[in-house]
Amino acid sequence: MAVEKRAAYRDQTYWGRPIPGFGDPKASVLVLGLAPAAHGANRTGRVFTGDRSGDWLYRAMHRAGLANQPTSVSADDGLRLRGAWVTAAVKCAPPDNKPLPVERDACRPFLQRELGLLQRVKVVVCLGGFAYEAACTELGVRPRPRFGHGVEAEAPNGWTLLCSYHPSQQNTFTGRLTEPMLDGVFERAVALARVR
């Protein structure tokens, strides 16, 4: 995917490798997304960076007190997270931004290691149904409540899974997800995790 570039980025060198999670190693809030965007994280090397989904995400995290700034355009732009870690279920940009279950399964060991290292997590904000399914699988959530914006589920380890529609252009341009809706999810996450 790093070979096919958008005209606006044709002079940039794309990262084009698996995208690691990043943030505060002492995070109590974990934000779990779908996969790196082809011309966002796949280009910049940092998840939810350099694309419109990231613009929405980091504005909401900034308003919730989890990020020091509301934007992220590159891996070295000064963004720091406080009490939060951001990652994706799939680590490489999938074709058409539609990862297959086999891709999720191939990346599963990387997500398992991240979850094992983040000892203070209390809340997982699942951005979209794919991320929610991955979190439920990893954390053994059974029965699994049906995905929907604002749905909460308790994992056997005591973590709360908190669902949000993904901040994709498909959802934000149509009004399926609004900034107040996303803010509400992060306000709830902060309250549950007692980050502030």
What are the pLDDT digits (tens) for 22-35? 999 999 999 999 87
**CATH code of the domain in which 57 resides:** 3.40.470.10
Number of folded domains that form the chain: 1
Q: Beta-carbon neighbour count of residue 50 at 10 Å?
A: 25
Angle formed by the axes of helices 101-117 and 129-139, to 10°?
A: 60
44: left (phi over 0), alpha (psi -120 to 50) or beta: alpha
Choice among 7-16, 172-181, 187-196 with the minimum mean pLDDT: 7-16
Q: Is residue 3 part of a domain?
A: no
Q: Please tell me the predicted confidence (pLDDT) of residue 40.
A: 60
Q: Is residue 12 part of a domain?
A: no
For range 75-102, the mean pLDDT: 87
- For the segment 118-154, what is each residue's pLDDT rounded down to a tens digit? 999 999 999 999 999 999 999 999 999 999 999 999 9
Angle formed by the axes of helices 179-193 and 52-63, to 10°?
A: 50
What does pTM read for this prediction? 0.89
Q: Please tell me the predicted confidence (pLDDT) of residue 7.
A: 56
Q: Is residue 68 part of a domain?
A: yes
Q: Is residue 187 part of a domain?
A: yes
Q: Is residue 52 part of a domain?
A: yes
123-127 and 29-33: which strand pairing? Answer: parallel
Supply the range of the domain harboring residue 164.
Answer: 27-193
d(CA 49, CA 40): 6
Phi, psi at 156, each rounded to 5°: -60, -25
